[in-house]
């Protein structure tokens, strides 16, 4: 329950048609198992107290009275269960019969939600027995208590106000305008569906698609519990395809044709954050709704869901390749349009032999192919200086030749030494001035070459570097079109690898693989005695895979530091210690806030994903914002962590 997580369960007990006593015991046994699993929201199938397929037995008074009696028994016997529980039963009101979902909490019946849409076509005959429910809730007496009866009921957790639960039943989801649309607009963050959806060939995939897409459009959690074995097989078979979804993602799904209970950790705060940032999601408007409080203890949920340590990179190889091709097309088309619009037929790329400049050169070559321009018009400029190693220099030169671009080699040692003399800097002092003077000298050359050849400078810096401010202001920070500006470092690697795997050029493949194997470095400090890179970026700012994880959950999800830390500890368990994660998370926040001034004047570049830092698009942030409250939260974690 802490940090917005709530554990939900959807279960399908094996029932007997019309045996309410047996079914009550089966449901109760499942409730106790769910409680042991930590579930705080428990959902059971439609009409599960009687069985869905009772047909004309629903007209029998004995069945209806037995169902109500077992509902009272379930409420009494779950008094000590700390959960909001939904069970289905037929319920008579004002001489009419309704297909309802009853909500139970700590021994009380909180309300009854009737089904709105009754299928009476093909194999369904619900209109023969039931009456559609009314939206506006009315008070009814049940078991000596007054409770609301109607579809427009919201169940709100007393100590977790963002956890607001609404219910609908089976067919309600399949219609053009499900009741849950109004429920979420009224404030529901989680929707439960008590269902009895029979199986047909191909229906399972459609059902899954329906649950996933509806949870996405409603930006909600969705708990779907459906009937399974135990229902009548006179004409139908029920498969028990229980599902728990969150904003378009299936968190858990039961295997069909077996009665299985599933659990899912729904992140309620994620839904609220997403709704806040989407200006097209209407304001919460609970007018006409009855809000019923329920009680559950707010305690830390033991999370069983996994968190991908690389949220920008699809885990599946096929999906990853498709993503890479899509991103390369976005980057290349963006550059193509820019070149067309200004009438430029030349591009200037500073090539270092590292990952980012390699990707920029590959994208530029692809854009030139789209334009039908000769690749010789690409000026690939290598500018060796104090930190350049033979390995990166050779890769830069060979890569340029493989792509048939024009290589220009302009050593900058003398120019930088003259600059040191001009400003009175000691070249033996390898401080930030020593480093940045090289970066700015390179940018000066690239800009002037672009003017000389009537072209534009292609920026090489990536999203991760921009987030951390790991760029020299008005050095590599600046260009005329930044093709990598919204590509995170963890994804840059896969884009280069995808190009290597698909280029059908053995020599190019070999060079790209060696670039991938080269440590990330700005190469602004002299190499080691044996000629290898001495300045490794990740030793200084931290692992990029951690920073990309932090960036995703901070910007995309809006999560606070403590929650990001918790998720990172789960995602990177076995790879980094908790102390290491906390260390670099502090570094991330400090750099992200202190370096905003660099992002406030970024050059144009194509957006490729849901996270970007362009001051004209996704991130309008003041350059002098204070990081204090974020760091204070991390210091609280430090104080609780044993040394």
* Alpha-carbon torsion (354, 357, 360, 366), positive or negative: negative
CA atoms of 86 and 137, how far apart (whole Å)? 17
**Active-site residue identified among 7, 24, 40, 46:** 46
CA atoms of 607 and 486, how far apart (whole Å)? 6
Q: Which residue has the tokens 């039943």?
A: 169
In order, the DSSP letters of 444-503 are HHHHHHHHHTT-EEEE---HHHHHHT-S-TTTTT--SEETTTT--HHHHHHHHHHHHHHS
**Active-site residue identified among 20, 48, 170, 346:** 170
Of 596, 570, 581, give the one whose Cα is nearest residue 638: 581
* Alpha-carbon torsion (486, 492, 494, 498), positive or negative: positive
Contacts of 642 (CB under 8 A, 6+ apart): none
CB of 155 closer than 8 Å to CB of 164: yes
Longest alpha-carbon distance in the chain: 101
- What the block records as the tokens of 577 is 């210690």
CA atoms of 190 and 215, how far apart (whole Å)? 9
CA atoms of 174 and 200, how far apart (whole Å)? 15
Which residues on neighbouring strands pair with residue 93, listed in sequence order? 96
CA atoms of 101 and 13, how far apart (whole Å)? 16
CB of 190 closer than 8 Å to CB of 161: no
Q: Which residue has the tokens 């439609």?
A: 46
CB of 327 closer than 8 Å to CB of 499: no
HEC string for 36-87: HCCCCEEECCCCCCCCHHHHHHHHCHHHHHHHHHHHHHHHHHCCCCCCEEEE
Strands 5-10, 41-43: pairing kind = parallel
Catalogue the E-assigned strands of 170-284. 190-195, 221-226, 243-246, 249-253, 262-267
CA atoms of 611 and 608, how far apart (whole Å)? 8
Strands 456-459, 406-409: pairing kind = unpaired
Separation of CA 102 from chain center: 33
> Is 46 one of the catalytic residues?
yes
- What the block records as the tokens of 281 is 């999601």
CB of 40 closer than 8 Å to CB of 268: no
**Active-site residue identified among 7, 68, 115, 586:** 115
Give how far Cα 328 sits from Cα of 486, 510, 556, Å.
12, 20, 22
Per-residue buried b or exposed e for 81-115, using 16+ beta carbons within 10 Å of the residue's own CB? bebbbbbbbbbbbeeebbbbbbbbbbebbbbbbbb
Interaxial angle between packed helices 561-571 and 578-594, expressed in degrees from 0 to 180 and rounded to the nearest 10: 140
CA atoms of 484 and 203, how far apart (whole Å)? 42
Which residues are designated catalytic? 46, 115, 170
């Amino acid at each position: 329950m802490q940090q917005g997580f709530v554990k939900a369960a959807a279960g399908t007990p094996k029932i007997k048609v019309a045996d309410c006593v047996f079914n009550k015991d089966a449901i109760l046994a499942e409730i106790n198992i769910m409680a042991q699993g930590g579930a705080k929201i428990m959902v059971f199938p439609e009409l599960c107290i009687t069985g869905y397929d009772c047909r004309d037995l629903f007209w029998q008074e004995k069945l209806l009275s037995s169902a109500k009696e077992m509902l009272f028994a379930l409420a009494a016997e779950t008094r000590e269960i700390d959960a909001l529980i939904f069970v289905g039963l037929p319920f008579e009101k004002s001489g009419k019969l309704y297909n309802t979902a009853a909500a139970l909490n700590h021994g009380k019946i909180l309300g009854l939600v009737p089904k709105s849409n009754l299928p009476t076509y093909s194999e369904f005959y619900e209109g023969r027995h039931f009456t559609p429910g009314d939206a506006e809730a009315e008070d009814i007496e049940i078991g000596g208590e007054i409770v609301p009866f109607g579809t427009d009921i919201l169940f709100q957790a007393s100590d977790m106000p963002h956890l607001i639960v609404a219910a609908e039943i089976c067919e309600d989801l399949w219609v053009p305008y499900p009741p849950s649309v109004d429920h979420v607009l009224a404030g529901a963050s989680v929707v439960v569906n008590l269902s009895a959806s029979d199986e047909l060939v191909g229906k399972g995939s459609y059902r899954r698609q329906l649950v996933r897409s509806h949870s996405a459009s409603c930006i909600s959690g969705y708990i779907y519990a459906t009937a399974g074995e135990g229902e009548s097989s006179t004409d139908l078979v029920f498969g028990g395809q229980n599902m728990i979804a969150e904003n378009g993602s299936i968190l858990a799904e039961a295997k069909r044709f077996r009665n299985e209970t599933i659990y899912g950790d729904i992140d309620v705060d994620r839904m609220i954050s997403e709704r806040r940032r989407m200006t097209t999601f209407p304001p919460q408007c609970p007018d006409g709704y009855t809000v019923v409080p329920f009680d559950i203890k707010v305690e830390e949920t033991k999370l069983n869901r996994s968190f991908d340590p690389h949220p920008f990179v699809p885990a599946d190889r096929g999906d990853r390749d498709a993503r890479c091709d899509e991103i390369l097309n976005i980057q290349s088309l963006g550059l193509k349009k820019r070149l067309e619009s200004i009438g430029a037929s030349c591009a200037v790329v500073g090539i270092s032999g590292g990952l980012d400049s390699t990707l920029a050169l590959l994208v530029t070559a692809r854009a030139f192919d789209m334009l039908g321009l000769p690749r010789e018009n690409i000026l690939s400029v290598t500018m060796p200086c104090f930190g350049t190693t033979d390995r990166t220099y050779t890769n830069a030169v060979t890569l340029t030749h493989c792509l048939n671009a024009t290589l220009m080699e302009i050593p900058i040692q003398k120019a930088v030494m003259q600059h040191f003399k001009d400003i009175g800097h000691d070249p033996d002092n390898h401080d930030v001035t020593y480093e940045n003077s090289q970066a700015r000298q390179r940018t000066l050359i690239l800009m002037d070459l672009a003017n000389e050849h009537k072209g534009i400078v292609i920026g090489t810096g990536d999203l991760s570097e921009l987030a951390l401010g790991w760029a020299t202001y008005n050095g590599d920070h600046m260009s005329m079109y930044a093709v990598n500006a919204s590509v995170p470092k963890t994804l840059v690697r896969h884009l280069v690898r995808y190009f290597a795997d698909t280029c059908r050029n053995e020599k190019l493949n070999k060079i790209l693989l060696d670039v991938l194997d080269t440590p990330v470095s700005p190469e602004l400090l002299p190499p080691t005695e044996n000629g290898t890179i001495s300045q490794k970026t990740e030793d200084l700012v931290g692992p990029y895979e951690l920073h990309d994880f932090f960036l995703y959950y901070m910007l995309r999800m809006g999560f606070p530091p403590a929650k990001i830390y918790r998720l990172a500890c789960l995602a990177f368990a076995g790879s980094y210690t908790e102390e290491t994660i906390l260390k670099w998370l502090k570094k991330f926040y400090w750099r992200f806030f202190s370096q905003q001034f660099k992002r406030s004047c970024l050059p144009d570049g194509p957006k490729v994903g849901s996270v970007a830092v362009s001051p004209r698009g996704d991130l309008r942030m003041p350059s002098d914002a204070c990081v204090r409250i974020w760091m204070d939260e991390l210091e609280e974690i430090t104080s609780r962590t044993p040394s």
